[in-house]
Each structure stands twice: as C-alpha cells, then as structure tokens.
C-alpha cells in the first residue's frame, strides 16, 4: 500500500501492526488511546499495548509501546481507568490498566487467559505490572477483553467468555478482588467468537441517559467477516437488562469496523467510541506500508427514536477543521422516495478506480460497493455492503475519505459504513448520478 494512502485523521502507527483499541481514558486534558500492537513488526504477534494521545480526538501522537509482552504472557485487550479515590492503593490518581494476560510457555498458566493489572503513576508514560497478577483467573482459555468503568461506589468489569457466547459482569471495590454479579447470554449471534464488550452510558434526546451494550463477533458480521453489534437496555450497576423486545443491531454495516470501545470518564458526559477499521477476514493479508492497521474516526453516540418507534443509536463523526491532503468531507441531501435509484461515485483523478454508493428508494437500501477500488486480498469474500434505510423521502449523507479509509454516515447517523480500500491513488472526485427513475 503506497504511503500516499496513509490516513491523516484515522490513527495509524509509524511502522508496526495495530488492531483493537484498548484503555481509552481521559486524563488532565488529554485523550489516551492504547491499542493492540506488535512492537517490532507489521504483523500480528508478541501482542502488547501501544499508546497514542490526542487533545482533539482527530490528531494523534504515537508514543510507542506502553505495556510490552513478556516471556510468559502476551498483553491482550482491556481498558484503563483513573483511580482518583485510590481504591486500589496504588496512589490517588493512578492510571490502572486492566488487561488480559494470554499466558504461554514457560508460564505454568500456559494456555490460560486471565485478567491482570498494570499501574502508571505518571499519567501513562511508564507502567509496571501488579505483583499480584492475575487478579481474575477462572482457568479458562477463552476469557478476555475486560471493559472496566466506575459505577457509583464500585468498579464494574464486563468480560467475554468468547467461545461460550457469554458476557460476565463482575464488581469490585478495589480493582484487585472481583465478584461475579451477573451474566449476559448465550444469545443473539452465536456463530463466531464474542469479543471486546463495552457497556456505555449514552445520552438520549430528552436529556436522560440509557445504556448500550456493544459486542464484537468474529466471524458472523454483516458482510460475513468480523462485525460489531449493540443492544440498548438498563443497567443497575450489577446486571444489564435489554429493552423489552430489543434485538441486537449492527453498529456499522461496513466490512471494517471491529472492537469499538468507549472513553468512560469524559468530563462533559459525551459517549465517545473508536474502533479498529479492519476485518479479521483479511487484515493479516493487507500489504504493509510499512504500517498495517488503522483506527476508525472517533464517533459521538446518542440515542434517538426511529420512524418505527424504536430507540436506536445515532453516531456522528468527530472531524477536524483542516480537511486537506488525504482528507475530504462531502455532505449532501438526496432524494430517497419510491422510484429513486442513485449512484454516488468517488473516484481518483484519472477515473480508473472508484467507490460507489447506491441509494435504492424502492428497496430502501444503501449499498457501498468497493469492487472497482483496487484489489482486495483473496480472503475478502464480499466487496459490497448493504444497510436498510428508514422510510424517508430525503436522505442526508456524509462521506469522509481519508487515504485508504472511507466512512459513510447516513440517515442522521443511524446508518454507517466503515471501509478499507486498496485504491492505488487518492479518491478526489465525487459525482451523483441518477441511474434510473423507476415508474
């Protein structure tokens, strides 16, 4: 992949592998993004936590490796918190990472996944492992991705039993001793692994708040590869109860949106998420440039009521003000009633490669087609992604093109797509074509 297609607003490392976002935490005016990373090369392996920071959620500084793998464990996904009340005894204001230890030989726990702690007393610059690790070990081989947050007077952990298609909710007073409070599942999508859960407090249009349970599945996503779901419901600090009759819905309908998690301590109360803008179906096969892997844009979530009366998540991108170079942002309002059939094409200057968005008013669908936008790895089994649209006569669409990543936000942010592209030159031209008015 040519360096000309490195994104600007979608975080990438300088020269190494990147996948799931981890440890999202706000501290002293800075947003911290930790992530799964191989410190030495652009392929999966020796999984460690990389570290990046931002003050605007758009421009990120890569700080290298924060928590490296050791001889006995790889450092899998997890979260981070600021322990302002010193509940764990590591010092007031300590930053505490809660991560999955994926043990390997020569560890006596080889083959086990358990939850462990690392501590920083300098705002995330340096880290040390807790000498009492692991803090939660049930002897399981597929038990990972703790999402930890403060709820009133205690800590909550949501962690995945990946092959059992179950989420466990634990509570703790000190981050070191955990008690199982409740479970979610098995239910919903059970054809692939359950990973990277998050339980997020989200504002609603009427000024209240509700809870969204985010869950990633691999495979079994909307296009056959990996994907991410959400369910709205209530949470009392110990158990999550889905809204009556609510079924999981895709958080994103594209090929490349996985492991979304949220900053849990943003002072203004916004629900902010970020995801890995790739798919496990082919991420290892994408050519390094020399980086491999990208993050999505940060998205701000809230809950709105759809035309069918159901509450649903709305996602709006956090954008920069310096749209230039690899980045273009296009906003438009299009007809979407009966008989409408439109193509939105985004092409390179030579018009040899193009991404096509199709609006079908009769079928009430929006389709993103990347079949003519470079050659995807052979493992990519689908080149088109389709989402249902609400029954509206006009459709608002925002398209963010940033190097090799495109994100689409439609229907007031209730329909989204995230796509990685293999185009060999930047996509700079946009055109709307009426491809057939039906009668």
Active site residues: 20
For residues 70 and 67, give the distance between their C-alpha atoms in angstroms, rounded to a whole number: 9
Single out the residue of 353, 412, 420 nearest to residue 385, CA to CA: 420
Cβ burial of 394 (10 Å; 0-12, 13-18, 19+) is: exposed
For residues 69 and 323, give the distance between their C-alpha atoms in angstroms, rounded to a whole number: 37
Q: Which residue has the tokens 């994103």?
A: 252
**Is 232:211 a contact under the CB 8 Å cutoff?**
yes
Omega before 40 within 30 of 0, i.e. cis: no
How far, rounded to the nearest angstrom, does the alpha carbon of residue 200 sit from its chain's CA centroid? 13
Measure the N-to-C terminal CA separation of the chain; round to a whole number of Å.
Answer: 44
For residues 195 and 78, give the distance between their C-alpha atoms in angstroms, rounded to a whole number: 11
Q: Which residue has the tokens 């979407």?
A: 336
3-state secondary structure of 162: helix
For residues 170 and 62, give the distance between their C-alpha atoms in angstroms, rounded to a whole number: 32
**DSSP structure string for 336-373:** -STT-EEEEEEE-TTSSSEEEEEEETTTTEEEEE-TTS
Q: Which residue has the tokens 């056959």?
A: 224
Single out the residue of 165, 14, 150 nearest to residue 80, CA to CA: 150
Longest dimension (CA), the chain: 72
DSSP label at 323?
A: -
3-state secondary structure of 5: helix
How far, rounded to the nearest angstrom, does the alpha carbon of residue 39 sit from its chain's CA centroid? 21
């Amino acid at each position: 992949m040519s360096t000309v297609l490195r994104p600007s607003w979608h975080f990438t490392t300088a020269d190494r592998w990147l996948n799931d976002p981890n440890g999202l935490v706000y501290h002293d005016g800075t947003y911290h993004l930790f992530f799964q990373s191989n410190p030495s090369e652009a392929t999966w392996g020796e999984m460690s936590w990389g570290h990046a920071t931002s003050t605007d959620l758009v421009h990120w500084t890569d700080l290298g490796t924060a928590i490296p793998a050791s001889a006995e464990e790889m450092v899998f996904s997890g979260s981070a918190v600021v322990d302002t009340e010193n509940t764990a005894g590591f010092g007031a204001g300590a930053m505490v990472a809660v991560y999955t230890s994926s043990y390997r030989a020569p560890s006596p726990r080889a083959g086990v996944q358990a939850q462990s702690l690392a501590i920083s007393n300098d705002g995330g610059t340096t880290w040390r492992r807790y000498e009492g690790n692991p803090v939660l070990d049930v002897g399981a081989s597929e038990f990972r991705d703790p999402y930890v947050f403060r709820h009133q007077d205690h800590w909550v952990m949501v962690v995945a039993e990946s092959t059992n298609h179950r989420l466990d909710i634990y509570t703790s007073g000190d981050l070191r001793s955990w008690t199982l409070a409740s479970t979610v599942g098995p239910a919903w999508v059970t054809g692939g692994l359950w990973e990277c859960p998050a339980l997020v407090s989200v504002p609603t249009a009427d000024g209240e708040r509700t809870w969204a349970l985010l869950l990633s599945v691999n495979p079994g996503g909307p296009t056959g590869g990996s994907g991410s779901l959400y369910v709205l419901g209530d949470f009392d600090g110990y158990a999550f109860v889905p809204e009556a009759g609510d079924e999981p819905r895709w958080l994103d309908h594209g090929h490349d949106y996985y492991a979304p998690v949220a900053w849990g301590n943003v002072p203004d109360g916004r629900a902010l998420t970020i995801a890995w803008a790739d798919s496990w179906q082919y991420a290892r096969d994408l050519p390094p440039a020399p980086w491999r892997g990208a993050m999505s844009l940060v998205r701000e979530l809230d809950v709105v009521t759809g035309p069918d009366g159901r509450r649903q998540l709305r996602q709006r991108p956090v954008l920069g003000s310096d749209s230039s170079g690899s980045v273009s942002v296009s906003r438009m309002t299009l007809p979407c009633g009966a008989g409408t059939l439109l193509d939105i094409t985004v092409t390179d200057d030579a018009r040899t490669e193009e991404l096509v968005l199709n609006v079908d008013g009769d079928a009430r669908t929006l389709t993103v087609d990347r079949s003519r936008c470079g050659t995807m790895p052979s493992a990519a089994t689908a080149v088109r992604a389709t989402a249902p649209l609400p029954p509206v006569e006009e459709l608002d669409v925002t398209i963010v093109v940033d190097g090799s990543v495109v994100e689409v936000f439609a229907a007031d942010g209730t329909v989204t797509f995230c796509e990685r592209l293999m185009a060999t030159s930047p996509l700079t031209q946009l055109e709307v074509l009426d491809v057939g008015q039906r009668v």
